[in-house]
Amino acid sequence: MLRPSSVLSVLLRSPSLPVLLTSLVLAFALAGCSADDLQPSLDDRPVAGPELPSGAREATVVRVVDGDTVELGGGLGKSRLIGIDTPEVYGGVECYGREASAYAKRQLDGRRVRYTVGRDERDRYGRLLVYLWLEDGRSFNALLVSRGYAQPLTIPPNDDYASAFVRLSRRARERAVGLWAAQACTGAPG
């Protein structure tokens, strides 16, 4: 009969000990996890959107009005995101509008952002027209489209990233995420 001390002695001299220990640690760590638990969430996945330009300025989002409109501090005021359109939440709530607005609030409320202003600086309502980037360098306009919270809206001359937004929207539709999900507008959980 093998004594525990002799088994331990053999294991400690074995060249496969690191592999065995790693396997045991992983087995214990992953116990009870499903395959879904190992997949990155949508917010963790990279987005192939516009890169942060070197001339971008900083501001703080003092209020999120809805999915595509924010109020920037420092006297900038109401600012409309360029190149995208989220469903409405005022004056007739549209499908997925509340979700888009809630997502924008979770991501932006009170946070520092970088922004650039469009060639046409203001829209007919006097809002500053901007592209926004989060502190980690991701384009927020692109995030909204890629997560299915918005669709592209191209109004020249503010069309710098139009092709990227169209590409991201196509992928969101193919993956059936956000407003493109089968149950997004049926009132059923998606």
* Phi, psi (rounded to 5 degrees) for 79: -135, 130
**Residue among 3, 112, 124, 127 flagged as catalytic:** 127
> Annotated catalytic, 121?
no
Q: What is the 3-state secondary structure (H, E, C) of 89-129?
A: CCCCCCCCHHHHHHHHHHHHCCCEEEEEEEEEEECCCCCEE
Please name the residue that has the structure tokens 């074995």. 14
Q: Which of 110, 120, 121, 161 is nearest to 138 (CA)?
A: 161
Q: What is the pLDDT of residue 39?
A: 33
pTM for the predicted model, two decimal places: 0.74
- Looking at residue 143, what is its pLDDT? 97
139 neighbors 132 (Cβ within 8 angstroms): yes
Which entry of 3, 13, 51, 80 is annotated as an active-site residue?
A: 80
Residues 63, 71, 88, 167: which is the catalytic one? 88
d(CA 114, CA 6): 63
Question: Which numeric CATH code is attached to 55-180?
Answer: 2.40.50.90
Domain ranges across the chain: 55-180
pLDDT number for residue 47: 63
80 is catalytic: yes
88 labelled catalytic: yes
Residue-level pLDDT at 36: 32
For 180-190, b/e burial (b = at least 16 CB within 10 A) is: bbeebeeeeeb
The tens place of each residue's pLDDT in the chain, 190 residues long, gives: 545 455 445 444 555 545 444 444 344 344 443 333 333 344 455 566 899 999 999 999 999 999 999 999 999 999 999 999 999 988 877 888 999 999 999 999 999 999 999 999 999 999 999 999 999 999 999 999 999 999 999 999 999 999 999 999 999 999 999 999 988 887 554 4
Cα angle for residues 100, 150, 126 (degrees, 5° grid): 85
Residues 6+ apart with CB under 8 A from 103: 67, 144, 147, 149
